[in-house]
Structure 1
Amino acid sequence: MKIGFDNQKYLDMQSQHIRERIDQFDNKLYLEFGGKLFDDYHAARVLPGFEPDSKLRLLKQLSDQAEIVIAISAKDIEKNKIRGDLGITYDLDVLRLIDSFKDNGLFVGSVVITQYSGQTSANLFENRLEHLGIKVYLHYSIDGYPSNIPHIVSDEGFGRNDYIETTRPLVIITAPGPGSGKMATCLSQLYHEEKRGIRAGYAKFETFPIWNLPLKHPVNLAYEAATADLNDINMIDPFHLEAYGKTTVNYNRDVEIFPVLNTMFEKIYGESPYKSPTDMGVNMAGNCISDDAACQEASRQEIIRRYYHALGSLLKGESSEDEALKIELLMNQIGVTVHDRRVVDAALSRARETDGPAAAMELGDGRIITGKTTNLLGASAALLLNALKDLAGISHEQHVISPEAIEPIQKLKVDYLQSKNPRLHTDEVLIALSTSSYTNPAADRALAQVPNLKGCQVHTSVMLSDVDIKVFKKLGVDLTSEATYETKQHYH
């Protein structure tokens, strides 16, 4: 993928801007971190050159001043919401994030369960965290949020929420994903700090939408596609336009909540330090785009990937038709179809030729490699093997794994592990390749190409097993699949 983003410039500008914002407040700043803090793969895909751990690097520079509070919605716990890029539930991701932050020398002070209304699953998660020695606080659903300001900013509104005890001047509020209640957590804390006579500030670090890109820029539309399940809508910031006469981009939830935050600041300071939602932000990403055309194309591809994901979720009963329809409208706005993803037609054409499941991969240099289903290998496994051989300059007729090495694995799967499918999955073919590399120099050359799969694009003509999906994720491959099962069974 062509680089379109200057990550070092971003780190320098963003770090300086956050420090300047901290200096605006005397003793306590709540900094809401939107998007993925530890591994922002969405940003890395739509801003090629952006490193997924950029925000983490920034925080490590402030580790002596900062503590982290992780917010998770009780509603997301109740419905077992899955983090799409990792394939794990939000509650498990909270535990993963805690370990990741601690491993990087960052202090995690507590977890807050938001939108709580007595959900049994939330109670179980609270007990689990407490048994692990992690402080847990509860924030409740508030009637009339966010429009009924007198009720929200009262003892019956934010006043019902637990006060989160913090010990450091910079409090980072983050979450496993969007819609977790990060902003409401910050506002609630400002209310409680005011009751305790503490002058606290608030700022927002949200990468998307990028405020100084056009409203319909593909990067910003890709954000709408990523949050289609939340029905987020990018919009012109009316408060910023009125205050400064300048057009900037924000999104509906921030615009809706701004009057609440503005009212709270007026109560704390006598006047608000911010005139618009855009003023609250500290995002410098838009200033670090080095190749706009590259970022636009990367974003168009991301919208197509999101569309396929929505279709798959619909097939599995995990989302409504509205999500896919909204992304389809976004595709129409920027004039793309699924056929603009090169691997789609290649995979479908191969499937028609072979009358069976097939897969296609676009390598870093633009070459398209395909794989078909055989008696020994599934289409994804065959594709993986073909791509590694191609990258290593090995003829496709040359075996890097002998059929004799595959047959014992099939016997194990079918005879001893009661698997109905004897064909090797992607993880099994990689293991077979690694064992063959000890005696076969060609297999060793092919195995050495595994790191070069990162960033490659793959499409399959059928939905894949969880095993294959996870392997492609670990390899750093961007995967899409047709929303159809390989078999016509009802249970998959």
Structure 2
Amino acid sequence: MKKIGFDNDKYLKMQSEHIRERISKFDNKLYLEFGGKLFDDYHASRVLPGFEPDSKLRMLMQLSDQAEIVIVISAPDIEKNKVRGDLGITYDEDVLRLMHEFTSRGLYVGSVCITRYSGQEGADAFKKRLEKLGIKVYVLYNIPGYPSNTSLIVSDEGYGKNDYIETTRPLVVITAPGPGSGKMATCLSQLYHEYKRGVSAGYAKFETFPIWNIPLKHPVNLAYEAATADLNDVNMIDPFHLDAYGVTTVNYNRDVEIFPVVQAMFEKIMGECPYKSPTDMGVNMAGNCIIDDEVCQEASRQEIIRRYYKGMDALIAGTGTEEEVYKIELLLKQAHAALEDRKVVPASLELEKAAGAPAAAMELDDGRVITGKTSDLLGASSALLLNALKELAGIDHAVHVISPDAIHPIQELKTNYLGSKNPRLHMDETMIALSISAATNPDARLALEQIPKLKGCQAHTSVMLSSVDILSFRKLGIELTCEPKFEQGKKLQ
């Protein structure tokens, strides 16, 4: 069984209470900037075992009678069709997905806000699309010299030109499909307008990482740096908090660097800044809910290793940078982690060496390591999948749960009619063949029923995979890494 290092129930209770307390410190109006993902936060669930991917959403649901959500998207991101890497959909499509997810769980989405607008045609089209769906849309404009020209920004020619977002509830959650969408700018623009209207509204920031009250070089915080290596974020001691209180806390470079500007904006809007440090602005209670530090440390080391392989694969594929890889290599050393600490890595490489062909390995929930190698009928990933399902079902590995006679027609379809040069079955094709066999073969039925048990398992392949197999691993919930090399003579599909 997977070890637990984080108390999720304690987190939900403590976090919602802390946000209620923060609301009460202002004029019963708090703009809460939500960093990271509001739900499907799989990074947090990987480095803090016990943290549920939808914990932040469930916490908000405890405040559903007080909260409304504003989803923010920047016009430049709409214009360039920016894509969420984890979901493979554009940011504008994700706005609609987020709205559906929130409303289906009883949360109130008040509006959508388009930031950094300067006449982009894509933003105009998206605004019209939302309005046809009956969704309120507000616009924030590009402000010259943002964020350093505070005199212009905090004026009628700066924030004053922005739309005022009409809200009706005490807690306004500002969220977005991804980073750089303009969440903080939206919050501060709203504060400007609220104070103009005589409402002493407040602002707070909810970022899960870095965790402010654990050490700077704690593996959990290092794993956050690995996850944001492409953004070049750096964890650092909050100098403002140390100077104000004599207490060491952890924040990250962008918040520390922007704090003097934010402080100046608060002073212009409110007359004084309610916070003495970036840490003061935060409301995150995650650090108080770690119940087994060693479990979280080990989970975080494993996450850094996964991030290393992801960075290396991107570099080989031409979509990553050497700087990103170098940074994660340094983080591996700081976390005292080695690639072979990921059990499936040496297992797959040893089998590849012995078999002389691509291989794969999977670590099941109980620690058992299963392997699979390339054959005439199946790719290494498909062989691994079947072997893992047989192991979970207690079926002898020599038993065919899919008849070779059932595989041959699929191969013929692929090569003779669909133009594929690779006759071996991909994982999705293997699962279809298994489901067909399950209609008449009890062993196949038993193997098929094990599929839900694969979620959360670890896997490594000795070569980089096609997008088809990568997607299959993702759909099954398996944490995949790939050796940064192409299969000989092949390119990624």
TM interval, shorter chain, is over 0.9
Task: Describe how 1:347-362 pairs up with structure 2 within 5 A.
Answer: 347-362=348-363
Aligned to 2:463: 462
Aligned to 1:393: 394
Mapped contact 2:16–2:63 kept (Cα < 8 A): no
Q: Could you report, residue by residue, the CA deviation over 1:336-356 in whole angstroms, capped at 9, with x for unpaired residues?
A: 232222211222222222232
Structure 2 distance, partners of 1:122, 1:483, is: 38
Aligned partner of residue 215 in structure 2, secondary structure: coil
Aligned partner of residue 134 in structure 1, secondary structure: coil
Shift of 1:268: 4.2
Structure 1 distance, partners of 2:426, 2:417, is: 17
Shift of 1:442: 1.4
Mapped contact 1:38–1:97 kept (Cα < 8 A): no
Aligned partner of residue 365 in structure 2, secondary structure: coil
TM-score by length of 1: 0.94
Aligned partner of residue 35 in structure 1, secondary structure: coil
Matched, 1:276 2:246: no
Aligned partner of residue 31 in structure 2, secondary structure: strand
Matched, 1:176 2:166: no
Aligned to 1:311: 312
Shift of 1:481: 1.2
Shift of 1:209: 0.6
Aligned to 2:365: 364
Structure 1 distance, partners of 2:286, 2:97, is: 26
Aligned partner of residue 395 in structure 1, secondary structure: coil
Aligned to 1:436: 437
Aligned partner of residue 109 in structure 1, secondary structure: strand
Aligned to 1:247: 248
Structure 2 distance, partners of 1:463, 1:80, is: 27
1:151–1:105: structure 2 CA closer, same or farther, 3 Å change rule?
Answer: same
Structure 2 distance, partners of 1:78, 1:144, is: 22
Aligned to 1:19: 20
Shift of 1:491: 7.2
Aligned to 1:346: 347
Percentage of matched positions with identical amino acids: 74
Structure 2 distance, partners of 1:190, 1:38, is: 26
1:376–1:215: structure 2 CA closer, same or farther, 3 Å change rule?
Answer: same
Structure 1 distance, partners of 2:367, 2:230, is: 32
Aligned to 1:381: 382
Mapped contact 1:191–1:264 kept (Cα < 8 A): no
Shift of 1:118: 4.4
Matched, 1:414 2:418: no
Q: Could you report, residue by residue, the CA deviation over 1:264-297 in whole angstroms, capped at 9, with x for unpaired residues?
A: 3334443322221111111110010011011011
Aligned partner of residue 377 in structure 2, secondary structure: coil
Mapped contact 2:195–2:270 kept (Cα < 8 A): no
Shift of 1:429: 1.3
1:482–1:112: structure 2 CA closer, same or farther, 3 Å change rule?
Answer: farther
Shift of 1:121: 4.2
1:146–1:328: structure 2 CA closer, same or farther, 3 Å change rule?
Answer: farther
Q: Aligned AA for 1:258?
A: F
Aligned partner of residue 276 in structure 2, secondary structure: coil
1:79–1:223: structure 2 CA closer, same or farther, 3 Å change rule?
Answer: farther
Task: Describe how 1:5-404 pairs up with structure 2 within 5 A.
Answer: 5-404=6-405
Q: Structure 1 residues 338-347 or 279-288, which shifts more?
A: 338-347
Structure 2 distance, partners of 1:119, 1:344, is: 47
Aligned partner of residue 351 in structure 2, secondary structure: helix
Q: Aligned AA for 2:240?
A: F
TM-score by length of 2: 0.94
Structure 2 distance, partners of 1:50, 1:130, is: 37
Structure 2 distance, partners of 1:160, 1:369, is: 61
List gaps (5 residues or longer) in structure 1: none
Aligned partner of residue 429 in structure 1, secondary structure: helix
1:207–1:445: structure 2 CA closer, same or farther, 3 Å change rule?
Answer: same
Q: Aligned AA for 1:72?
A: I
Q: Aligned AA for 1:177?
A: G
Structure 1 distance, partners of 2:122, 2:331, is: 35
| Aligned pairs, number | 492
List gaps (5 residues or longer) in structure 2: none
Structure 2 distance, partners of 1:35, 1:382, is: 36
Shift of 1:63: 1.7
Mapped contact 1:70–1:110 kept (Cα < 8 A): yes
Mapped contact 1:199–1:268 kept (Cα < 8 A): no
Shift of 1:48: 0.4
Shift of 1:236: 0.9
Q: Aligned AA for 1:256?
A: E
Mapped contact 2:154–2:269 kept (Cα < 8 A): no
Shift of 1:108: 1.6
Aligned to 1:447: 448
1:349–1:132: structure 2 CA closer, same or farther, 3 Å change rule?
Answer: farther
